[in-house]
Chains A and B, each alone.
Chain A
Amino acid sequence: SYELTQPPSLSVSPGQTASIPCSGDKLGEIYVSWYQQKPGQSPILVLYQDNKRPSGIPERFSGSNSGNTATLTISGTQTMDEADYYCQAWDSGTVTFGGGTKLTVL
């Protein structure tokens, strides 16, 4: 089965740029999506098809996907961005999630 790997945690200062990597074999050949989940809440989609933002997602969220690594970038990180972030890929009819990255903004 396909596997996606994320760092368990990441810290960033307010106003700085956070980059969350997600790695998988030939990941750049398939679409990657990203989800944000805050404590006690359901996940929400923040990026799809590598770098597209759904309606209502701030422009500070961007993404890239090439080779074996996809990256979620949050520019000018705000305290409200503190959350768990999950990458996700769809391959051969099945969905795979990364293990999640806890982003701390302090």
Chain B
Amino acid sequence: EVQLVESGGGLVQPGRSLRLSCAASGFTFNDHAMHWVRQGPGKGLEWVAGINWNSYEIEYADSVKGRFTISRDNANKFLYLQMNSLRTEETAWYYCAKGPPSDDSSGYLGKWGQGTLVTVSS
């Protein structure tokens, strides 16, 4: 069974940093792109960042470029999101999501974790 378990969320002051983790299991992690998606309270889904299977291709939403860094550890099946200079409007549930296999360019997110809540407040 595919499982994605996020951790690392919590309360953080504006301007500070936080690192999210996503533990993957039940599939060949190093054959899939991975993504982070967030959802503010009462709002829609917002894609944050994506990384391909070998970390050679990384993309970010314009809103986080230069402040957030996505990375992965294929040996231990972990996805990470380093978030710096956090803003109050970035309070949201952060989801880890599994992309398609490396030979599929259709870009769907086939499985999502349960999310971890990040609250940015003073």
Binding site for B on A (CB under 8 A): 1, 31, 33, 35, 37, 42-45, 48-49, 54, 84, 86, 88-91, 93-100
Closest residue of chain B to A42 (Cβ to Cβ) is B112
- Within 8 Å CB of A42, what residues of B? 95, 112-115
Contacts A49-B106, A93-B59, A94-B59: A44 and B112 contacting too (C-beta < 8 A)? yes
* Size of B's binding interface in residues, CB under 8 A: 24
- Within 8 Å CB of A54, what residues of B? 110
Find out whether the CB atom of A43 lies under 8 angstroms from the CB atom of B112. yes
Instruction: Give the number of A-B contacts (CB < 8 Å).
Output: 68
- Mostly helix, strand, loop or mixed at chain B's interface? loop
Find out whether the CB atom of B106 lies under 8 angstroms from the CB atom of A97. no
29 residue pairs of the A-B complex, CB under 8 angstroms, read A31-B106, A31-B108, A33-B106, A33-B108, A33-B109, A35-B45, A42-B112, A43-B45, A43-B95, A43-B112, A44-B112, A45-B108, A49-B106, A54-B110, A86-B44, A88-B45, A88-B109, A90-B107, A90-B108, A93-B57, A94-B47, A94-B50, A94-B61, A95-B47, A95-B107, A97-B37, A97-B44, A98-B44, A99-B44
Give the complex CA separation of A88 and B107 in angstroms.
9
Which residues of chain B from 40 to 89 have any CB-CB distance to chain A below 8 Å in the complex? 44-47, 50, 57, 59, 61-62
